[in-house]
Amino acid sequence: MILVTGATGLLGAHICHQLLKKGEKVRALKRSSSNLLEYQLIGKFYQNSKEPEWFETDLLDVYGLDEALQGITKIYHCAAIVSFWPKRKFELIKNNAEGTANLINAAIEAKVKRIVYASSVAAIGRPKYSNEINEDFAWLESENNSGYAISKYLAEMEVWRGVEEGLEAVIVNPSMIIGAGLWNKGALKLIKQIYNGFPFYSNGTNAYIDAEDVAKIMIELDQKSIINSRFILCSENLTYQDFFNKISKIANRKAPYIKVQRWMAEIIWRLSAIKSWFDKKEPFISKETARISKGNFNYNNKKIKEILPDFNFKSIDKSIEESIRLNTKSN
């Protein structure tokens, strides 16, 4: 039996549906506070009503993990809190890094053979003087590293520790994940903002990939028995302006027309922080997201193309179309 963590989230739900359609037996972790809205929405995308064997626990419950791993031969680990709010830094490290450490310990104890871990490009070093980032770049300590990036880097180190203790592992480092899923967080939230009307864009660059592709690649890497390696997963590197313009064109909305200068970004995140202080909600623009939006991060996917030469990445345009169609039909 296969265990999937993060199954109520975007990537985990895609993996669950793909595995179930292949006839695999799947056990999926869910927190007591989690709902199945995203899992069910993505089920519509796959035209799949099957559900895994749900097991209620979380990665900080070591006793729950021990029970959840009974009879498990491999793990797809996708669970993580995603946030760029500095206020949540220690929560991120506790859940993403300590939670992964607990999972690795439980997996070794239960004699699980293999783990396929969804890390992030955020966990890869970003040198100042390089046009393209690849898997060989070492992590660099910096005050500019976000709490999320630190948590994913530390989590990845726990997976490598597991390898040293006999666990087989393959790690993927996806870029910004879009596609069929709820418009409530991450890059999908950007699609929602543009769809609803958003006038601003920045001159930064980032990479994107469809959630369906990430899930497919993780399953293919597992089936090829690739071990003890990591792979950057991205389909296209795009400026934020180009990405926003694609969304606007597909959604038939007005394209963002106000370029955010550095001084404007500094004001915006501070105003967002003040608003957040009053309404107690995570700001849409934080100090970390403002900084990231001005960065130029281009990622090299040559390594995964060499391992999976016949894999065809879904176009970003199609990902955007599917995301808009799924969310507007569900309203």
Burial of 118 (0-12, 13-18, 19+ CB in 10 A): buried
Burial of 13 (0-12, 13-18, 19+ CB in 10 A): buried
CA distance 96 to 155: 6
- 277: which 2 tokens? 């202080």
H/E element, 54:
strand 53-56
pLDDT of residue 144: 76
> Cα 259 to chain center, whole Å?
27
pLDDT of residue 83: 84
Residues of the chain with pLDDT under 50: none
SS3 content of the chain, % helix, strand, coil (to 5): 45, 15, 35
For residues 6 and 211, is the Cβ–Cβ distance under 8 A? no
CA distance 269 to 273: 6
For residues 240 and 201, is the Cβ–Cβ distance under 8 A? yes
Phi, psi of 232 (to 5 degrees): -75, 130
What are the residues facing 238 on neighbouring strands?
206
Angle 6-112-161 from CA coordinates, rounded to 5°: 80
Burial of 255 (0-12, 13-18, 19+ CB in 10 A): middle
pLDDT of residue 264: 66
Classify 44 in phi/psi space as left (phi over 0), alpha (psi -120 to 50) or beta. Answer: alpha
124 to each of 103, 145, 175, 281, how far by Cα in Å?
A: 22, 11, 11, 29
Q: pLDDT tens digits, residue range 10-21? A: 999 999 999 999
CA distance 88 to 306: 38
CA distance 163 to 91: 26
Helix axes 147-164, 99-109, angle to 10 degrees: 20
pLDDT of residue 168: 96
pLDDT of residue 200: 84
Strands (E), 203-331: 205-210, 229-233, 236-239, 258-259
Strand 74-77 versus strand 2-5 pairing type: parallel
Domain 2-182+207-237+298-330 top-level CATH class: alpha beta
Classify 248 in phi/psi space as left (phi over 0), alpha (psi -120 to 50) or beta. Answer: alpha
Count the neighbouring beta carbons within 10 Å of the beta carbon of residue 51: 16
